[in-house]
Amino acid sequence: MRLLLLLLTAALSQALLRVPLSRGKSIRRTLLEHGLLQYSAVLQDAAREPLVDYMDNEYFGTISIGTPPQDFSVVFDTGSADLWVPSVSCSSDACTNHQRFNPHVSSSFQPSNQIVSISYGTGKISGALAYDTVQVANIAVHKQALVLTETESIFLFYSHFDGILGLGYPSLSVSGTPPVFDNMWSEDLIPEDIFSVYLSSGSGSFVVFGGIDDSLYSGNLHWVPVTPQKYWQITIDSITMNGHSVACLEGCQAIVDTGTSVIAGHPDAISGIQRAIGAKADPYGLYHVNCDTISHLPDMIISIDGKNYPLPARAYINQFPGSCSSGFQSTSGLWILGDIFIREYFVAFDRGNNRVGFAPTIKS
């Protein structure tokens, strides 16, 4: 065994002599890009965070904060870049049925005088910025910035998670502090500047920090450049159904967002899509579909960087006992490829190269 390891080390050393190292890239990354190292070798040092699926609407995992650790369920959200959890000082109704962090019993807690307010599509939170040890899977990040909420919008009362851990670019951070993933990388806690997401219905969903698990997808990853480095934003070429364009005729910008359950787009385009699938609005603004028609509905084809990504009706229609609803919603901003898309396509978020990789998921 020792001889084999020596031979492998020697072979890699010789290979490195022939491979130029790019500035800012690790040795492992350079070897990967030149086919001299497999992702499975890197994955051994990566951290896998299991996620709970609540009705295909929310995916969240457990982290701990403080010393000794206090546990919280959080959404790992690529559409934001701050970490927040409720505080014992929070007086909002939304905090009363969730875990609340008590800084007085954490020996590693460090307060600050900064107040942070973060707005989301359905409400906002506000609280005090602080620093403490945050553990995700087996990774402990020390002096991580987080917001301890003191007020929360009522919509969070109904959430099945306690807080949100943002995985967007640092420029997206409202608090102006490095996100958790950035600190993982800068503190050399993960082997690669990359994380990946696998979502499934039911059990078996994961976020992998520092690597890519190629057992979770089929074929090869198709890499797409990130446009502005804020959100995980990419360019969609077109969106078609039955061979006809239904959106993004001349291309459009979209974000890949693990914190959104639906596919969202411009109101006119979404209205046309609802008509195409026979969805009708109820008094509450939800669009319902006749469950008997699902097998006859067309695939939605999302073209990204010259490659087609089909979404069958079983993916974009939410099916419940006795009720089926559309998975499309209107938004006034960028298009959003949410969990409906990510359940069909494994996604790798590569900060080292500012790109996103897609491949069909292997269903669990």
* 53 catalytic per annotation: no
Which three-class secondary structure state does DSSP give residue 336?
A: strand
* 56 catalytic per annotation: no
Q: Catalytic residue among 182, 214, 257, 350, which? A: 257
Q: Catalytic residue among 56, 77, 132, 162, which? A: 77
Residue 359's DSSP bridge partners are 346
CA 147 to chain centre: 19
Closest C-alpha among 71, 51, 70, 69 to residue 61: 51
Closest C-alpha among 215, 299, 204, 264 to residue 79: 264
Query: Between β-strands 323-326 and 317-320, what pairing exists: parallel, antiparallel or unpaired?
Result: antiparallel
Indicate left, alpha or beta for 267 from its phi (over 0: left) and psi (-120 to 50: alpha): alpha
CA distance readout (Å), 289 to 117, 243, 278, 314: 38, 21, 6, 12
Cα–Cα dist 232/320, whole Å: 31
Instruction: Give catalytic residue positions.
Output: 77, 257
